[in-house]
Structures are given as structure tokens and as C-alpha cells.
């Protein structure tokens, strides 16, 4: 594995807001993808009093090799989770909330109804909050996706994660790639603003990346994030390459050529990094 470069180092959080957000999450018995996925931006985001909420518990039913989220048999759903998320959003004074989840293939609708309930709970308390949902593929269930979309999220985000050729590397069946593209395509056809994200550094080639941009452009995806893969655990897939900041600039420029309204690219970029800025950029483009 190549040595980790200096541009991937982050400072330990010291701002009082970081500890305020941490205490708030514990008080409401919530999970965040910031913690569960070991996001390198947690210190920065929490210091700005924002976080990405993780619903449907914190245990995933899938075993993807790139992800730090706990895997196994999930516990029962928390019935008050949507209201607790809404309370946290209101307390933080968020104007843009990002909600994601573990994948719950054990649930009949994959948790789509909980996404809808969470959006509704937030808007009951704070009508003007924009809500982005980062959803799993719901096993390709069109009705489940429709349930989430009927709650009218401002952005429907679903990540491809890596180019199609690398799906075996991350322990995903190849058919899941096309299923994920279908999630974005169906969402776009229903009028949603769509967004996706990929990570690089797992051994993909330039042609793989460009093909992925083309696939996303082909289903009308509006927004894209591109970030560096970082090996979260010893058992996870290894890093094959660390991309330099300049290479991310080049990837961003290349992606924009495929019709995206805007692209956020950089070593530490993750799906919800600067999500509000990216959405505002989209609004200026339409």
C-alpha cells in the first residue's frame, strides 16, 4: 500500500461546537454516518454545527469491503427515530439536512417509509429546511423508491461508489451497478434533483472513471462527488493509489464535460461534504 500523503492529514477537533454536536447526538440517541463511516471531515462539519444523520440503526445487512459501518444482524427499528432526528435538526438550526441510512435488506421496503417519515417530521418542525436523502438501492424495488420520493426530498442521492469493473473488489454483485443507475434514472424521471458519488484509489483506470461519468450522465444525474478511498479497517480493501489534489481538479473538469450541473472533488470529499453549497450551485444553474 502506498504511504498516506500529507494532504490527507486532518487536525483533531477542538472547537466547542464539535463537543456540542457530539452531546446532542448522544442525547437524542442518534447515529451519524460521520461516526459510523469514520469520515475524515467529522471534525470540520461538527465544528460548523452540522452532521449527516444515519437512520435505520447503525448495523448494515451488506458486507461491502470499502465501508467502516458495522455489519451483521440489525436491531429493531426505533419508532421515535424520525422525531428525534427532526428535533436535532431544529436544535442545530440547520437549513439543509442530510439523512442517510444503513442498508436494511431485512425490511419489506428497505426502510423507505422511515426516510419518508423522517422528512415529514423535519418539516413539521422546520418548514423551510431543505432535505437531502442518501438512500440505498432498496433492492431495486420501484414502489419503495416511490415512497421515499413522495415525501419530496430536495435531493435524492444514491452512490455508485466505484466504477462497474471494480464491484468485485468491494464485494458487490455486478448487477448492483445497473440497479443503482436505475435508482437514479427513475428518480430523475419523477422530477427529483439527483446526485451520486464515487471514491477513487481502489485500482480503477482512467477509462473506468470516464465510463462511470458517462453512465451517470446518461441517466441525467445532476450532481456528483468524487473523493479518495481511505481503508477504514485492516480487513477492508487496500488503497491502490492516492490521488493528488491536482488530479481531483482534473477529474472534476472531466466530469463537468458529461453534463453534471456541479461536481465536488477532492481528497477528503464525501457524499454529504459541502452538500448545501452543491445544492445552491445547482439552483443557480436551472
- Residue, of 44 and 144, whose pLDDT is higher: 144
Q: Is residue 5 part of a domain?
A: no
- Residue found by looking up cell 451483521 in the block: 72
**What's the average model confidence in pLDDT over 110-139?**
97
In 3D, which of 202, 163, 222 has the Cα closest to residue 65?
Answer: 202
For 234, the grid coordinates are: 485492516
Per-residue model confidence (pLDDT) at position 106: 97
Are 259 and 167 in a shared domain? yes
Among the three residues 153, 168, 186, which one is the final residue of a domain in this structure? 153
Q: Tell which phi-psi region holds residue 220, choosing left (phi > 0), alpha (psi between -120 and 50) or beta.
A: left
Q: Is residue 41 within 8 Å of residue 273, measured between CB atoms?
A: yes
Assess whether 88 and 61 both reside in one domain: yes
Asked whether residue 18 falls in the same domain as residue 89, the answer is: yes
pLDDT tens sequence across 115-126: 999 999 999 999
Query: Domain ends where: 125, 153, 181?
Result: 153
Predicted pLDDT of residue 47: 81
HEC secondary structure over 35-101: HHCCCCCHHHHHHCCCCEEEECCCEECCCCCCCCCEECCCCCCCCCHHHHHHHHHHHHCCCEEEEEE
pLDDT tens digits for 51-68? 899 999 999 999 999 998
Question: In this predicted structure, what is the pLDDT of residue 46?
Answer: 77
More confident residue, 201 or 47: 201
**Are 126 and 180 in the same domain?**
no
Question: What DSSP state is assigned to residue 11?
Answer: P
Q: What cell does 167 get?
A: 464491484
Our count of domains for the chain comes to 2
Amino acid at each position: 500500500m502506498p504511504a498516506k500523503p500529507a494532504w490527507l492529514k486532518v487536525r483533531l477537533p477542538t472547537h466547542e461546537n464539535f463537543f456540542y454536536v457530539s452531546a446532542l447526538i448522544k442525547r437524542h440517541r442518534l447515529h451519524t454516518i460521520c461516526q459510523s463511516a469514520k469520515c475524515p471531515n467529522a471534525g470540520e462539519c461538527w465544528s460548523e454545527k452540522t452532521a449527516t444523520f444515519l437512520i435505520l440503526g447503525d448495523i448494515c445487512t451488506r458486507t461491502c469491503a470499502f465501508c467502516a459501518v458495522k455489519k451483521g444482524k440489525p436491531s429493531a427499528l426505533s419508532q421515535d427515530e424520525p422525531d428525534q432526528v427532526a428535533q436535532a435538526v431544529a436544535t442545530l438550526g440547520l437549513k439543509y439536512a442530510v439523512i442517510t441510512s444503513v442498508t436494511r435488506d431485512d425490511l419489506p421496503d428497505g426502510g423507505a417509509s422511515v426516510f419518508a417519515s423522517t422528512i415529514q417530521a423535519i418539516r413539521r418542525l422546520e418548514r423551510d429546511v431543505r432535505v437531502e436523502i442518501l438512500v440505498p438501492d432498496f433492492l431495486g424495488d420501484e414502489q419503495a423508491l416511490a415512497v421515499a420520493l413522495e415525501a419530496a426530498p430536495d435531493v435524492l442521492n444514491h452512490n455508485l461508489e466505484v466504477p462497474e469493473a471494480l464491484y468485485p473488489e468491494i464485494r458487490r454483485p455486478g448487477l448492483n451497478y445497473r440497479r443503482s443507475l436505475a435508482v437514479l434514472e427513475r428518480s430523475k424521471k419523477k422530477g427529483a434533483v439527483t446526485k451520486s458519488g464515487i471514491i477513487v484509489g481502489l485500482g480503477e483506470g482512467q477509462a473506468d472513471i470516464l465510463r462511470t461519468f458517462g453512465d451517470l450522465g446518461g441517466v441525467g444525474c445532476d450532481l456528483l462527488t468524487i473523493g479518495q478511498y481511505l481503508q477504514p479497517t485492516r480487513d477492508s480493501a487496500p488503497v491502490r493509489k492516492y490521488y493528488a489534489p491536482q488530479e481531483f481538479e482534473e477529474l472534476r473538469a472531466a466530469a463537468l464535460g458529461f453534463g453534471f450541473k456541479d461536481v465536488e472533488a477532492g481528497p477528503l470529499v464525501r457524499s454529504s461534504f459541502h452538500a448545501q453549497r452543491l445544492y445552491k450551485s445547482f439552483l443557480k444553474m436551472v
